[in-house]
């Protein structure tokens, strides 16, 4: 039986993980737009041209949430959590560090609009990527019930 070699992500792995999160976020927004189209014959109008799809989707789903135990409420909260990671990456990427031999996990550091910094590790990026996949499935299921 061969021992598995421990994985230590390098800069290329870290940057690929950032790219995967951003790409999968785009896929999620595409599914949100398809949901909007199905449930309310959504078409971009001049008033919605500037609004991000996620905001339009969030507003539409919020209107349909019956109470705090409604599964759509937890979906909204979960989308908000991954949106925070995505927004930090897309609007505040500040630095990246990955030294496979340092013993420290590879990470990116992002600067928020309020000037604070947030570190996002490689494992957090991978977890976010997996959550995005799950959220896409949940958004598509939401579309089947409307």
Report the percentage of the chain scoring pLDDT > 90. 58
* 24, burial (CB in 10 Å: exposed 0-12, middle 13-18, buried 19+): buried
The pLDDT of residue 64: 78
Per-residue pLDDT averaged across 113-141, rounded? 95
pLDDT of residue 5: 59
Host H or E run for residue 97: strand 93-97
pLDDT of residue 49: 62
Please tell me the distance from the alpha carbon of residue 105 to that of residue 95, in angstroms, as a whole number.
14
Q: In what order do the strands lie in the sheet with 93-97?
A: 93-97, 107-111, 117-121
* All structural domains of the chain with their residue ranges: 11-39+51-144
pLDDT in tens, 62-114: 887 777 777 788 899 999 999 999 999 999 999 999 987 888 999 999 999 99
**CB atoms < 10 A from the CB of 120, how many?**
22
What's residue 42's pLDDT? 58
The model's confidence at residue 1, banded by pLDDT at 50, 70 and 90, is very low
pLDDT at position 36 is 87
Separation of alpha carbons 80 and 87, rounded Å: 10
């Amino acid at each position: 039986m061969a021992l598995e070699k421990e994985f230590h992500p390098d800069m290329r792995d870290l940057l690929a993980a950032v790219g995967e999160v951003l790409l999968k976020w785009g896929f999620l927004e595409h599914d949100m737009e398809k949901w909007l189209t199905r449930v309310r014959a959504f078409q971009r109008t001049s008033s919605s041209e500037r609004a991000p799809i996620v905001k339009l989707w969030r507003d539409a789903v919020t209107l349909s949430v019956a109470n705090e135990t409604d599964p759509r409420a937890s979906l909204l909260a979960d989308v908000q959590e991954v949106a925070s990671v995505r927004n930090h990456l897309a609007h505040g990427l500040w630095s990246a560090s990955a030294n496979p031999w340092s013993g420290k996990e590879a990470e990116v550091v992002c600067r928020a609009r309020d000037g604070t910094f947030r570190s996002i590790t490689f494992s957090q990026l991978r977890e976010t990527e997996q959550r995005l996949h799950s959220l896409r499935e949940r958004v598509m299921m939401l579309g089947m019930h409307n």
